[in-house]
Amino acid sequence: MQKREKAGKILEILKREFSVPQLSSITEDPFKVLVRTIISQSTAEVNTRRAYQNLSETFPITPEAMDKADLTELEKTLRVAGLYRNKAKVLKNVAKVILEKFNGSLDFVYSLPLSEARKNLMDLPGVGPKTADIVLLFCANRPTLPVDTHVNRVSKRLGLVLSEAGYEDVRKGLQELYSPEEYFSVHMLFIALGRNYCKALRPLHAVCPLRGLCPSAEF
Ligand code: SF4
């Protein structure tokens, strides 16, 4: 079976297995998405949610408020997330740069050419390609496919990309296999697969809906 055909079947099966939230239902202010994604780095979803909620109950999630926030107070709200001291510093730094360089607005994510908008985001302190791609896709529906730890792992186990591929190779490899309208679904469904079946340590091959298509399935 050709790789593209296999990629299509994988998506079809995952769409039957899991539901995908509507992109419009999670689209929001790019600064808020940026803050949430920074908090989520190396942190479980449940703790990211709690830390973000603590933060938003204490401060308005704006560059102005983050810049002025007391570092210790900021740390306190983020404690439930891992690396909270570092994340509090990153949030203050990133807010400062957005105020100084972009007049407090990330609206360029909607208007600049994709590569330029991506570069602007990745030039911010503490922002790597995954965070930039999440902001671009989730807020502005720009055609880029964020590769988080689940997307990376399952793409490799399924043989859609080479096992030694780095971030950019996985992103581009998946983008070639799917159409831009599918990037959001692929991102969300691969995460669902990784969380529910294709776990990092003990993948549930025997009950995985993709076992018939997967070269890594072991019975
Ligand atoms: S069969 Fe196993 S390795 Fe393949 S996607 Fe499913 S859980 Fe992952």
Res 189: pLDDT? 97
Res 219: pLDDT? 60
Predicted confidence band of residue 115 (pLDDT cuts 50, 70, 90) = very high
Angle subtended at Cα 128 by Cα 177 and Cα 120, rounded to the nearest 5 degrees = 95
Say how far apart CA 26 and CA 139 lie, in whole Å: 8
- The fraction of the chain above a pLDDT of 90, given in percent, is 90
Pocket lining: 156 vs ligand 1, CB cutoff 6 Å: no
Higher local confidence (pLDDT), 71 or 27: 71
Pocket lining: 210 vs ligand 1, CB cutoff 6 Å: yes
Higher local confidence (pLDDT), 26 or 51: 51
Pocket lining: 194 vs ligand 1, CB cutoff 6 Å: no
Task: Tell me the domains of the chain and their CATH numbers.
Answer: 3-22+145-207 (1.10.1670.10), 28-140 (1.10.340.30)
Pocket lining: 146 vs ligand 1, CB cutoff 6 Å: no
208 Cα nearest atom in ligand 1: 6
Kindly state the average pLDDT of the residues 11-39: 88
214 Cα nearest atom in ligand 1: 4
Res 139: pLDDT? 92
Residues 100, 66 contacting (CB under 8 angstroms): no
Query: Of 211, 214, 218, 201, nearest to 156 (Cα)?
Result: 214
217 Cα nearest atom in ligand 1: 1
Instruction: Say which residue the tokens 């790789």 belong to.
Output: 3
Q: How far is residue 162 CA from its own chain's centroid?
A: 21
Write the pLDDT tens digit of every residue in 177-213: 999 999 999 999 999 999 999 999 999 999 999 999 9
What's the whole-model pTM score? 0.92
